[in-house]
Structure 1
Amino acid sequence: MKSSSSIFNYLFVSGLAASMLFASCKDNKASTTAPAATPAANAPATAPSGKIAYVNLDTLGDRYEYFKTKKADFEKRQAGMEAEVERLAQNLQSEYAAFQKKAQAGTLTQAEGEAAQKKLAGMQQNVESRRQSLGGQLMKEQEEFNKELQDRLDNYLVKYNANKGYDFILSYVKGGNILLANKALDITEDVIKGMNEEEKSNPTPSIAPTTKK
């Protein structure tokens, strides 16, 4: 099977890593790089017959249990990371407010003022560093997960097609390159059933919570 430009990526990235942590610091400059499409594992060479089928990725994303479980895990991790950065940002804001109050009251010596400014600068740097570190961590895990999903689908379709004889199994997404698809060529139900059965027989553990640094 030849994937669309980033299989599952449009399903998984939106609402997760794209907005990850940036809102906490009032900086919504999200950045995601879609992984390059990966070719399916090579199917046994047979005489071409022009037999084609397709998998609806929207439906697969909604009903493939492994994907749903992992997506929920990532959402929990994202929320935890955002909360951590938000706490750091709030501590910085409180420290700055206290410094400003003392400065306006004239109760700070020059040495105390310089020390306070140095402390605030360090706290600001820590917020930005932690935000970038956590965001980069989640983005890396997301890219690895996208690749794993692609590999799982590719590998399953090779097994599925062993006695089906399709020359092409295409990916279909609403708004994608394929504008109209014949329902008779839709094998999504079979693929979902088979992949879910594989997951039941060999369940994948959930992602462990992120350890604070």
Structure 2
Amino acid sequence: MKKIILSLAVLISAASCQEQQKIAFIDNGEIISAYQMKIDIEDKFKTQDDQFTKQRDSIAMVYQMEMQSIQQRISKLSPQKQQEESQAFSQKWQPVQQQMQMRQQQMDQMFKTEMDSVLSKFNTYVEDYGKENGYTFILGKNQAGSVVYGIEALDITEEVKKGINEAYNSKDAKTEASTDAATEE
């Protein structure tokens, strides 16, 4: 009996000596959606995409008008001449179509690269935040369900959202200040 009490006392004292782990969670999607860097990138690419769409629509209109003109003209020609004219028309427009596709792919790749940068900065910020605030773990809540439930007291989404935007805005202000100083010189 003494051994059981003694071992229980040792076990309790060992358990109480262990360091308490600090754990919290964040809603990844909410923070990323409110991250000003992401919003700025989306706005920039929305503007570029709108310009590209206008240009593509303008080219498509010219293409349609020329297509109608050629169709009227070649309808009076022999089948062989019709085929030759159609091929010539297609060959004329093929480089334009390829250029438009290539430009769209480049814009998509640039957007993906910048969004990857957003995720990288987000991960770095959360890691630094966790270290600075003594967290053992910061779990991410998302649609996949990595955290299905957590008590509200452990949800640090708002603090991280506020902090990451403040960090982004202060870097933005520093960049503008250094650009202004270089311009003045």
Q: Same fold (TM over 0.5)?
A: yes
Task: Tell me if structure 2 keeps the 8 A contact 1:52–1:166.
Answer: yes
Matched, 1:132 2:132: no
1:30-49 equivalences under 5 Å are: 49=20
TM superposition shift of 1:99: 0.6
CA RMSD of aligned residues (A): 2.9
Moved over 6 A (4+): 109-112
Local SS of the residue matching 1:165: coil
Offset at 1:145?
A: 1.4
In structure 2, do the counterparts of structure 1 residues 74 and 176 end up closer, same or farther at CA, with 3 Å as the change threshold? farther
Matched letter for residue 59 of structure 1: E
Aligned-partner Cα distance in 2 for 1:155–1:48: 25
Change (3 A) 1:112 1:146: same
**Aligned equivalents of 2:100, 2:25: Cα separation in 1:** 40
2:114 match: 145
Give the TM-score of the pair, scaled to structure 1: 0.62
1:52–1:168 contact (8 Å) kept in structure 2: yes
Q: Which runs of 5+ in 2 are unaligned?
A: 1-17, 177-185
- 1:9-28 equivalences under 5 Å are none
Please tell me whether the aligned partners of residues 89 and 127 of structure 1 are also in contact (alpha carbons under 8 angstroms): no
Compared with structure 1, are the counterparts of its residues 179 and 158 closer, same or farther at alpha carbon in structure 2 (3 Å cutoff)?
Answer: closer
**Which of 131, 152, 168 in structure 2 is aligned with 1:199?**
168
Displacement of 1:132: 2.1
SS of the counterpart of 1:181?
coil
Judge conservation of contact 1:49–1:167 (CA < 8 Å) in 2. Answer: no
Match for residue 58 of structure 1? Answer: 29
Matched, 1:79 2:40: no
Secondary structure of the residue that 2:25 maps to in structure 1? strand
- The answer to whether the 8 Å contact 1:92/1:123 transfers is no
Partner of 2:183: none
Whole-angstrom CA distance in 2 between matches of 1:119 and 1:80: 29
Equivalent-residue separation in structure 1 for 2:114 and 2:108 (angstroms): 10
2:142 aligned to which of 173, 187, 194: 173
Measure, in 2, the Cα distance between the counterparts of 1:80 and 1:190. 37
Q: Offset at 1:113?
A: 5.4
SS in 2 for 1:202: helix
Task: Tell me the percent identity.
Answer: 22
Structure 1: which 5+ residue stretches go unaligned? 1-46, 206-213
Q: Relative to 1, partners in 2 of residues 1:109 and 1:103: Cα closer, same or farther, differing over 3 Å?
A: same
The structure number with the bigger radius of gyration is 2
**Residue correspondences, number:** 157
Higher relative contact order (CA 8 A, sep 6+): 2
Query: How big is the shift at 1:121?
Result: 0.9
Question: Aligned pair 1:156/2:129, yes or no?
Answer: no
The amino acid of 2:104's aligned partner reads G
User: SS of 2:147's equivalent?
Assistant: coil
Q: Secondary structure at the match of 1:54?
A: strand
> Once the two structures are superposed, what CA deviation does each residue of 1:84-126 show, in whole Å capped at 9, x if it has no partner?
222222222211110111123x2x6899857743442124413
DSSP-derived class of the 1:91 partner = helix
Q: Which amino acid aligns with 1:55?
A: I
